């Protein structure tokens, strides 16, 4: 009998922990992306004005876009805290993992998009 004591929450499985770690690594990569993005931003200054760069590239080399995605991933993981039911915690892990992977993919494609466009222009000539 459990005289008024709180029920113990269900425990994470190994797969839940792996998903959490992968989402946190994606968040860490997004939070540190502006450091690497600066190198690309200086390289893109040689291409001319920022109006010639694709919108995704301009977003990826800003400081706020990758950092806000990284903070969003972290907030989603923290939202599925321990008092939540196991289904809610698992859903938060999956959503955080997806947001982190998609956000990191968008940033990487964003910084390489001008390089791809330049290669297409050279190949067309």
Reading the chain (125 residues) residue by residue, the pLDDT tens digits are 455 666 566 787 888 889 999 999 999 999 999 998 888 888 887 766 667 888 898 899 999 999 999 999 999 999 887 677 888 889 999 999 999 999 999 999 999 998 888 888 887 76
CA-CA distance, 8 to 20, in Å (whole number)?
21
Predicted pLDDT of residue 92: 93
CB within 8 A of 77, min separation 6: which ones? 20, 23, 24, 27, 92, 93, 96
* Helices 86-124/64-79 angle, 10° precision: 160
The answer to whether the predicted template modeling score (pTM) of the entire model surpasses 0.75 is yes
Q: Percent helix, strand, coil in the chain (nearest 5)?
A: 80, 0, 20
Cβ atoms of 77 and 96 within 8 Å: the answer is yes
Neighbours of 44 (CB within 10 A): 20
């Amino acid at each position: 009998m459990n005289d008024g004591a709180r029920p113990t929450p269900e425990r994470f499985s190994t797969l839940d922990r792996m998903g959490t770690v992968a989402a946190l690594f994606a968040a860490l990569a997004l939070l540190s992306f502006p450091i690497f993005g600066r190198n690309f931003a200086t390289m893109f200054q040689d291409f001319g004005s920022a109006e010639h760069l694709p919108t995704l590239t301009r977003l990826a080399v800003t400081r706020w876009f990758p950092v806000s995605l990284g903070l969003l991933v972290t907030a989603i993981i923290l939202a599925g805290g321990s008092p939540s039911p196991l289904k809610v915690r698992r859903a938060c892990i999956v959503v955080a993992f997806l947001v982190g992977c998609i956000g990191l993919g968008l940033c990487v494609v964003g910084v390489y998009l001008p390089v791809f466009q330049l290669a297409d222009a050279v190949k067309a000539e």
